[in-house]
Amino acid sequence: MSLKVWIDGKFYDKENAKISVYDHGLLYGDGVFEGIRVYRGKIFECEAHLRRLFDSARAIRLTPPRSAEQLRTAIEESIAINHFSDCYIRLVVTRGPGYLGLNPNKCPNPSIIIIADTIELYPPETYEKGMSIITSTVVRTHPNSLSPRIKSLNYLNNILAKIEAADAGVPEALLLNQEGNVAECTADNIFIVRFGEVQTPTTSDGILEGVTRHVMLQLCKRLGIPCVEKSLQRHDLYIADECFLTGTGAEVVPVTRIDGRPIGDSTPGPITRRLMEAFHTHVRG
């Protein structure tokens, strides 16, 4: 059975789900999106995702043509019509069709797309043994150019770093900000553990405020694990006892090697494992 894709209030077969070639989301990356997980039929942190979507849209002066409540209903309908219990939702708001020019005022009708599908995760051995990452030469987009806190359709900054990771034979790459401090990876936020304390970059370090990142901060508080948001340098990563990434697709994945350097004893550490287990219980329990 073909998957059904929701576009502006109607469902279309996956093969026939199309947008205009004049849509400014395609022509200029003018739009915002969210990646959302569904576990056992429940939308994970739906309110937080929708809040961030509307914040991102507001930041680029884009007004979604439907309310948050209407979008939640549309997501639920997309899950139901595709008979999913566990799946991934891609929610996209584009500037809409216009003309061959940058002026967003020429796009009177923003468009909304909701895709419900499965997502390819890292293989099980990655979660058991950890992954290797590199530091990219690509600098995180300057916040005065385009704030990384906006989850926009223009992901070239991340993609260029991802290409470097692929060239190096690793699945992820770390981006530094304009000051040389640690920002985030191409699709995930980064955490380290040092002397029993969990540390992660601040929102002013050039990160997207990840929904899973926020859940991780809450889990640390609930479990009594010291956790701080602070600026980090590569040196802090190299001497860390543990390291892990968080994201919608990755969930919580341990990192055991950075730039060829072993982290800790090159195995997922005890705090990382404890948080991985707590996260799985949180979303599936």
Whole-number CA gyration radius for the chain: 19
Write down the catalytic residue from 10, 14, 129, 151: 151
Beta sheet of 4-7, edge-to-edge order? 10-13, 4-7, 111-117, 87-94, 31-39, 42-43
Coil, strand or helix at 75: helix
Q: Cβ(114)–Cβ(6) under 8 Å?
A: yes
Catalytic site includes residue 10: no
Tokens found for residue 95? 């500037």
Nearest to 85 by CA among 116, 124, 48, 113: 116
**Residue 124 in 3-state DSSP?**
helix
Answer whether 201's CB lies under 8 Å from 190's CB: yes
Q: Which residues contact 271 (CB under 8 A, 6 or more apart)?
A: 193, 196, 198, 225, 242
Backbone angles phi and psi of 24, in degrees to 5: -70, -15
Residues tagged active-site: 151
